[in-house]
Amino acid sequence: MTAAAGAPLSLRFHAAGEWPDGTVDSAGDLILSPETDAALAAIAAPVSVKAKTSVFRQGDAAASVYLIRSGAMRVAHQLEDGRNQIVAFSWSGDLFGLADHGVYLNSADALTDCDLVEFSRPALKSLFLKEPQLQGDFLVEAIADLRMSQRHLLLVTHQRVTKRLAGFLVECARQPDCYDPKTGVLSLIMDRTDIADYLSTTVETVSRTIGALEEQRLMTRIDLRHVHLDLAGLQAMMVR
């Protein structure tokens, strides 16, 4: 995890969902006023992390909140019984660093090389006092995260793993970074274990279930990390 030189940042906050006119741009990114943008940039520290390295661990003193400029992160929670539940995959424009009682609730690891922006919590807090409407932007982000968390809940509570996996693939295909709608090819950024930990199942079952979806012609493997999706078919099978 290395600090990069501090050029102007032009921060992009991605806000999934719909918002009042003037809140988000055509790409679904938050529109910050020039003042808040400048104020944010003033306290923003660029950070680069290499793939498969950790940004922070669950239980660490929560010093910062992070914004992803490029790359993808894995946010996971380790339970006392040894389980490792992935709480979210986070993409460029997403914030991460949820904390409680002064410590991070989850661990954050880079899936790919990432460019991050680090905001120290105290700095953010005092900036909130100076630029109160900045809280509105973070509110929008928090609500977007809440929606994502509920979607995840609905996904993992499907009794049949086939449905969970289908839903997961559809979710992934919403990420422009890794899905090409022209070709229908999805790049899987994470390994089978990550998928299992996200869907709350086992590697073996993920492997077998991918096989099952292939037999149903709902997906085709190109190689381990690239698959062709039948999006309509996958969505249809979620209903049945």
192 binds, among a second copy, DNA, none (CB under 5 to 8 A by kind): DNA
Please choose which of a second copy, DNA, none residue 209 contacts, taking the beta carbon within 5 to 8 angstroms, the exact cut-off set by kind: DNA
Bridge partners (DSSP) listed for residue 227: 186, 221
- Among 6, 102, 176, 181, which residue interacts with a second copy (rule: CB under 8 A)? 102
- Candidates 149, 183, 193, 207; binder of a second copy (CB under 8 A) is 149
Which C-beta is closer to DNA: that of 32 or that of 169? Answer: 169
Tokens of 191: 């390994």
Which residues face 113 on adjacent strands? none
The residue count of the chain comes to: 240
Binding of residue 32 to a second copy (CB under 8 A): no
Angle between helices 133-156 and 192-199 (to 10 degrees): 90
Rounded CA-CA distance 174/69 in Å is 18
87 binds a second copy (CB under 8 A): yes
Q: Which x/- pattern over 28-67 shows residues binding DNA (rule: CB under 7 A)? A: ----------------------------------------
Pair of tokens at residue 60: 């660490």
Query: Which region holds residue 17: left if phi is over 0, alpha if psi is between -120 and 50, else beta?
Result: left
Site membership for a second copy, residue 21 (CB under 8 A) = no
**Dihedral sign computed on CA atoms, order 42, 134, 60, 68:** negative
Which residue of 28, 58, 124, 138 would you call a contact of a second copy, by CB under 8 A? 138
**How far apart (Å, rounded) are the C-alpha atoms in residues 168 and 175?**
11
**Residue 167 structure tokens:** 């839903």
The answer to whether residue 53 forms part of the interface with a second copy (CB under 8 A) is no
Token pair recorded at residue 118: 């680090």
Task: Enumerate residues 6+ apart whose C-beta is below 8 A from 202.
Answer: 196
Q: Does 147 bind DNA (CB under 7 A)?
A: no
Of 58, 120, 175, 200, the residue at the interface with a second copy (CB under 8 A) is 200
Please report how close the Cβ of residue 192 comes to DNA at its closest, in angstroms.
3
126-130 contacts, C-beta under 8 A, 24 or more apart: 127/39, 127/40, 127/43, 130/39
x/- mask, DNA, residues 60-89, rule CB under 7 A, reads ------------------------------
Q: Within positions 181 to 240, which residues make up the interface with DNA, using CB under 7 A?
A: 191-193, 200-211, 221, 223-224
Cα–Cα distances in angstroms (integers) from residue 91 to residues 28, 57, 222, in the given order: 13, 19, 23
Residues lying near a second copy in the complex (CB under 8 A) are found at: 17-18, 20, 77, 79-81, 83, 85, 87, 98, 100-102, 105-106, 125, 128, 132-133, 135-136, 138-139, 142-143, 145-147, 149-150, 152-154, 156-159, 200, 238-240
